Homo-oligomer: A and B are copies of this chain.
Amino acid sequence: MRDVAIIGVGCTNFGEMWERSFRDLFVEAGLNALEDAGTRGEDIEALYVGNMSAGKFIDQEHIGALIADYAGLAGSLHIPSTRVEAACASGGLALRDGVMVVASGLHDIVIAAGVEKMTDVETGVTIDALASAADREWEGFMGATFPGLYAMMARLHMHKYGTTREQLATVAVKNHHNATMNPKAQYRKDITIEEVMNSPLVADPLRVYDCSPITDGAAAVVLAPAELARKLNDAPIYVHASAQASDTITLHDRRDITTLDATVYAAKRAYEMAGISPKDVDVAEVHDCFTIAEICAIEDLGFVQKGDGGPATEEGMTALGGKIPINPSGGLKACGHPVGATGIKQAIEIAEQLRGDVRERQVNGAEIGLTHNVGGTGGTAVVHILSVNKR
C-alpha cells in the first residue's frame, strides 16, 4: 500500500444556512479544497462523500451522483462517486475510503468530502432522523433520543468515577472559547460554567449547553499519493493511520456504557499503523457530540486513564496551551455538527494545525495530530493520525 497525503482542504462556514442548499454547500467546500491544493477539477479521479441522512433531511438519496454532477465532474469526466454512511461518522468513513483507494494505487488524486443540510426540515424530523443512528427497534421505539442515551453514559460515568456536573461543563466552556478564534464556527462566543449549569435541562444530567447543535455545512479534502504530494503542493500533511471499528449499535448490549470499545479498537489499530503511542499526539479533534462524549473520548483514546477525563479537563490539560489540546476548532459543540461533514472538518482542522495556519488557536509546534469520529453512541468509530512528516 502507498502512503497518502492531504494536499488541499476546504470548508464552508458552519451554522444555520437558510439561504444555501445542500449542493451549494458541497460545491463551495469542494472548490475551496481544489484551490487550496492547486489542482483542477480535471485532475480528480474519484469522489467519496460522507452523508448521514439526506434521504430524510432533503428527500434525496444517490448523493454521490448528485454532488459529482453539481461539481461538474459527472457529465464530462464521469468519475466514480461514492456516498458512505455511518451516521455521525460518515465523514470519517469517507476520508478512510478515499485514503484507501489512493493507498491501493487505483487512483492518484481523490476528493473525500462530507456534507449535511439539517435545517430544511422541522426540528421533529431532524431529531427523528438523528435517532435513526441508534437501533430503531430497541432504542428509538422506546423513545430514546441521543441526549437520553448519552445522559445514561454520563450518569454512570459520574457514579463510577466521581465525574462532576461542573467537569462536564468545563468541556463546553473550553470548546466555546476555542470557537471564538475560529471564523467558520457556528458559536463564536464564550460561555461560563454557570451558564452551562443554568441552561435548560435536556436529559438529566445533560443541559442545552452540553449538546452539539443542529448545523449545516460541508467540508472537503484533496488526497494524493505521498510520493506525488510535494510536487503538487508546498505543505502536504501525511496520513499515518486510518482505522475503523464497530461495536453493538445498541447501548444496552455493551460490556460498559462509559467506554466506547469502537474508539478503543480504532485507536489501538491507528496507533499500531502509525507506530506511535497516545503521548506522541500533539493535538486532537475528538467527537464531542455531548460534553460527556469528549470525556469518554480522551479516556478511550488513551490520553488519560479511564475515569480521569473529568479532572483532566477541569485542570486544563485539554485546553489550548495544555498538555494535549483537544478540539481547537471548537469541536462539534461550538464549531457545529453537520453530521456527515464533521469527520472531514476534523481532518481539516488538524491539517491546518500541522501546517501552522490557524493563528490565535494554533497549537505551537504540533507535528502529529489525531481525529476521532463516532457514529451513534459508538456503533462506529474511526481514527486518523496525521503528521507533518513523511513516513
Q: Tell me which residues across on chain B come within 8 A of A75, comparing CB atoms.
A: 247-248, 253-254, 261
Cross-interface CB contact of A69 among B47, B53, B97, B253, cutoff 8 Å: B253
A235 at the interface (CB under 8 A from B): no
A73, closest chain B residue (CB)? B246
Other 15 A-B pairs with CB < 8 A, given A58-B136, A75-B248: A55-B55, A59-B128, A59-B140, A60-B135, A61-B85, A62-B134, A62-B249, A64-B86, A69-B247, A73-B246, A79-B245, A80-B382, A84-B85, A100-B106, A104-B105
Contact flags (1/0) for A44-80 with B, using CB distance below 8 Å? Answer: 0001000011011011111111101100011100111
A379 at the interface (CB under 8 A from B): yes
Q: Tell me which residues across on chain B come within 8 A of A79, comparing CB atoms.
A: 245-246
Say which size band chain A's interface belongs to. Answer: 35 or more
Q: Tell me which residues across on chain B come within 8 A of A69, comparing CB atoms.
A: 135, 246-250, 253, 379
- Taking the closest CB of chain B, its distance from the CB of A74, in whole angstroms, is 4
A30 at the interface (CB under 8 A from B): no
A271 at the interface (CB under 8 A from B): no
A255, closest chain B residue (CB)? B75
In the bound complex, how far is the Cα of B235 from the Cα of A45, in angstroms?
34
Whether the pair A375, B62 counts as a contact (CB closer than 8 A) is yes
A82 at the interface (CB under 8 A from B): yes
Of the listed residues A62, A66, A69, A101, the one surrounded by the most CB atoms of chain B closer than 10 A to its CB is A62
Cross-interface CB contact of A83 among B85, B106, B129, B376, cutoff 8 Å: B85
Q: Tell me which residues across on chain B come within 8 A of A109, comparing CB atoms.
A: none
A61, closest chain B residue (CB)? B132
A182 at the interface (CB under 8 A from B): no
Whether the pair B56, A82 counts as a contact (CB closer than 8 A) is no
**3 residue pairs, one from A and one from B, having the closest CB atoms:** A65-B379, A104-B104, A80-B244
- Taking the closest CB of chain B, its distance from the CB of A309, in whole angstroms, is 21
A313 at the interface (CB under 8 A from B): no
Which A residues have a C-beta under 8 Å from some C-beta of B? 1, 21, 47, 52-53, 55-56, 58-66, 68-69, 73-75, 78-87, 93, 96-97, 100-101, 103-106, 128-129, 132-137, 140, 243-250, 253-254, 261-262, 265, 375-376, 379-380, 382
Of the listed residues A64, A81, A129, the one surrounded by the most CB atoms of chain B closer than 10 A to its CB is A64
In the bound complex, how far is the Cα of B86 from the Cα of A101, in angstroms?
18
In the bound complex, how far is the Cα of B128 from the Cα of A58, in angstroms?
12
In the bound complex, how far is the Cα of B262 from the Cα of A65, in angstroms?
10
Whether the pair A132, B62 counts as a contact (CB closer than 8 A) is yes
- Given A82-B97, A85-B63, A379-B74, A132 contacting B249 (CB threshold 8 A): no
In the bound complex, how far is the Cα of B244 from the Cα of A20, in angstroms?
30
Cross-interface CB contact of A61 among B64, B74, B87, B382, cutoff 8 Å: B87
Q: Tell me which residues across on chain B come within 8 A of A56, comparing CB atoms.
A: 55-56
In the bound complex, how far is the Cα of B112 from the Cα of A191, in angstroms?
47
Of the listed residues A52, A84, A382, the one surrounded by the most CB atoms of chain B closer than 10 A to its CB is A84
A131, closest chain B residue (CB)? B59
- Given A100-B106, A104-B103, A84 contacting B86 (CB threshold 8 A): no
Whether the pair B82, A244 counts as a contact (CB closer than 8 A) is yes
In the bound complex, how far is the Cα of B56 from the Cα of A279, in angstroms?
44
Whether the pair B65, A61 counts as a contact (CB closer than 8 A) is no
Whether the pair A84, B87 counts as a contact (CB closer than 8 A) is no
Whether the pair B52, A376 counts as a contact (CB closer than 8 A) is no
A242, closest chain B residue (CB)? B106
In the bound complex, how far is the Cα of B128 from the Cα of A389, in angstroms?
49
